[in-house]
Amino acid sequence: MKEFIKRIFRKSTTEEFRNVEIELTENWIKYNNGNSIGKKGSEGGKILNDQENINGARITIEANVGNIPFAITLGIYGLIVHTEFFSEIEIAAQYFKRKKNEIDRILKMFEIPEDNQDTEWENKKDEYLEKLMYE
């Protein structure tokens, strides 16, 4: 059983890190001018990609997080922080891209003036945040 787990959650090699460059999209920049790449991340792994939304969010992918090959931590400043774990880089990269789009949608909601935020706005915000963290 121990060998089986080691095969599933094997340490990733630098060969697998070549295709982790995820395109910067509108409002997204390299966090800390890219200086965090290669350093230890919040989950204890090596940071492969680290992007920040200029409107107040961040998403980071790390490799070799303990016995788990990849982790993605995302956060909207002052609102939420969430981490997911992956065994394959391709699936992690797809998740990274999808979550950036979801974060964009949530941040656009906060552009609505407070006096125009009603119960429906609050329900939508909660629905989007739940989807961001659990889907």
Domain boundaries, the chain: 2-134
The total number of residues shown for the chain amounts to 135
Answer yes or no: are the C-beta atoms of 132 and 99 closer than 8 Å.
yes
pTM (2 d.p.)? 0.81
Amino acid at 39: K
Q: Tokens representing 87?
A: 């065994």
What phi and psi values does residue 68 have, to the nearest 5 degrees? -105, 135
pLDDT score at 21 = 77
Show pLDDT as tens, one digit a residue, over the chain (135 residues): 555 545 555 555 544 554 467 888 899 999 999 999 999 999 999 999 999 999 999 999 999 999 999 999 999 999 999 999 999 999 999 999 999 999 999 999 888 777 777 788 788 888 888 888 888
pLDDT of residue 19: 47
> What's the sign of the alpha-carbon dihedral 6, 12, 16, 20?
positive
